[in-house]
Structure 1
């Protein structure tokens, strides 16, 4: 039996109000929607478990206290871990203050409670004045939340796409940018320029984004830090912890307690 992260009877575009939300509780196994799009913008927030999204040509991960923002008419798929509890918030694309591109949004405790509360209100009652006022506050809070980037861009350039696919398959591959350049018969400068041009990051930062995504997933799966360090090709646990703390401001153990 297949499990999908969506309610086939729910059509977000059928609702006229500014925002509509629903919550899905954990399935028995990992589940995923097929690629799709809709007129309303979507915010996906995990209350528990783990969520990854493929949005256009990037893979996004949703860590604790964050949500991913999916703009209107943007093709995406959503994969959730088993027994996850996930809120989906759909917002009218006419609200222009919200991001026009996919982005990770930090979620404050207040915003988290507002979104969760909306999920528990019957859709037929979500146009009542009390709910309308709640939605107005929710949107005001959403607009002022800081944004972050936890995505791994997949370039369109054929050689870079192959590198991305190889890194996804073998994240412990520690070849330098020079070694990758030699493998694909180009200079180190050319490869560095292409990566910067395609994904807006240096090669090192691009690969670091992938390691963060995979680390989040493995931590959510309760994998020991030693094994994560090995899987990602770090020389030692301490080297991995140093990398993680530099990027996230906390150790993997402390991050794990927040999820």
Structure 2
């Protein structure tokens, strides 16, 4: 049986909608959802109200914790993975509308922005978007989106085949604790060459690059309801306290507090 969100997107072509802005809603369900790689001319904002969303696009991965959204510019190949208890809205924006980010990014959204998107997604008749009142609300929404703060919840995945191989291996097995030297041996490079390659392509050390992946996966799993202990184990930390220390240094708050405030 196909994923319900995938089926909804199969029957909804955002580029065929004659409105500058349209939106879809996806209800929370017990199973996770996966939208495979696809593209459309319109830009897309994936908004998470509950659970977590991981977006893959050209150049990397972006995380959508609750009350945030990932902006994906138009005509960019991307995929979305939504956690089992995820509840999301998909906002589509005409590419002719200016002032929105030119690259993928995670945006921290205000309650006003979320409510405006919710309102658009719940319109029974899409043609209502042509009404003067709705046009005014859309204008407010777009202006607010231009002001939203960008969150650093991004994992760069360069095009270099060696780094692609390592990145996807770590995504599949985030508890892999192989050192740079061990990875270098696997990809037939010297440790120094691999370390320099990671630094040049990602602007991070290898350890910081892997830590960023751990942060994204941790946020996704915590938003889905996993315990701190379970997330710590899944990421291969020797103790919960070591995981909490890493998380606090990266995001300024311990995991429980961060998720509660989101």
**When the two structures are superposed, what TM-score results if normalisation uses the length of structure 2?**
0.90
Q: Give the match for residue 245 of structure 2.
A: 242
Aligned twin of 2:151? 148
1:224 matched to 2:242: no
From 3, 25, 38, the equivalent of 1:36 is 38
- Secondary structure of 1:35's counterpart equals strand
Residue deviations 1:200-257, cap 9 Å, x none? Answer: 3321221111101211122133222123222212232111111111222221111232
Residue 253 of structure 1 corresponds to 256
Q: Distance in 2 between matches of 1:253 and 1:204?
A: 24
| Residues in 1 aligned to 2:109 and 2:164: alpha-carbon distance in whole angstroms | 32
Could you list the runs of 5+ residues in structure 1 that have no partner in the other structure?
none
**1:47/1:221 CA distance change after superposition, 3 Å:** closer
Aligned equivalents of 1:128, 1:231: Cα separation in 2: 50
Give 1:86's match in structure 2, choosing from 85, 88, 112.
88
Cα gap change, 1:223 to 1:28, in 2 (>3 Å): closer
**Cα contact 1:106–1:147 (8 A) shared by 2:** yes
Please, what TM-score do these two structures have when normalized by structure 1?
A: 0.91
2:141 aligns with: 138
Task: Deviation per CA, 1:95-143: give whole Å up to 9, x if none.
Answer: 2211111111111122112211221223110111111110111111100
Cα offset, 1:182, TM superposition: 4.2
Deviation for aligned residue 1:183: 4.1
Aligned to 1:192: 195
Matched with 1:2 is 2
Deviations along 1:39-83, whole A, 9 cap, x unmatched? 110000011122222212523221122100111101112222234
User: What is the CA–CA distance in structure 2 between the aligned matches of 1:224 and 1:86, rounded to whole Å?
Assistant: 22
- Partner of 1:126, secondary structure, is helix
